[in-house]
Structure 1
């Protein structure tokens, strides 16, 4: 997708029911239940923020850009006009609308911001950039949206904490462990619960979420051991080891 700063398109918000998230993610297509309105104005290269409920809070979950507009009459209750997407960039954490409502010009009542958006709404580039800059983004559906029969994110975090506690107690006299080795051990641990995530996904999960566990990390001069870890502000820092010394 083009960077926001280089786009010549317009800027919109799409507010949708969370039950459609998987369809949007898999099909890379947006729709409308209405035959008229703002949706009819959207064209190729326009930018759209995806807004839906997460934990019962209306939150921005992703950013996308329109590749092309086409027609599909297969679904009777939907507008035949459809938007094919270039891709979807998910925010690494949900951006709660109410938390930033007082910064947005299109919100008339910050105490009840949901009333400012029906289904699709055109917004200014200023508001768009304000929302877009609140969180880093990734190409894949983030862990906080991967809810099957339990909260996968919390389960992995609990597993990381348990594994760290075990290794700290039974570390053979070592005062640290390489981050990459820890992630391999975590992968094996999770496989016992039939959670078979690729190493690359677990590494990304660790990098983006370990700040919540307050592990102490140490750097290294060996570039083969480098792992970029994100802090609570989304900034990256280079580390190689997890310390067992508080």
Structure 2
């Protein structure tokens, strides 16, 4: 059964995908809806999903889900894909991607697999190759790029332009090794202006005052939570806390084009 959809929901769905009216209710629409609901766990979430991706109910969704399950992709991984970007599950040639990821060493039962699957299906071969070449430009080998991808698959969702911008700041402004970013590739998903530069300014201040070695946990300040960063790196040095707070606030305000951000 499909329950909970309002008249306006149905009108919106049909207007967005009028071809849906050509599909059999029993053979296509209901099976696809029930398949999606099995992973999204509620009518409310499923209806919201169908409103965003109307073609879910006119595609071979159940068949694609069965293909993934039959080839070792766990239920939890498929559920993640439904929450992140369900249209990927409706695309063609899924088996090729599954086999490719397995050859790279990914396990269909681990959460990393769903992230890698999304990254692979979100880029064309040309786009993927461009990102690989961008990493190589900064000194990473094929093996190191693969390890970086396996460690944090979403790093391959970052555009070459952003990779270049962060690498340039990291290497040329901070004087650090590009391989440090390969060890903590999640940093590449952070905002350069709103996250990396403000934190780097604090770290450089601490180094200049002899309060931190340049090689001490190079990437740690960039991966901890905002709360922990402020407590440990901004307010953790009592003698310099007022200067650090002012510096950090200035950089955050500059990034946001504001002048009212204050640490409490």
TM-score, structure 1 normalization: 0.25
Larger relative strand fraction? 1
Which is bigger in relative contact order (C-alpha 8 A, separation at least 6)? 1
Larger relative helix fraction? 2
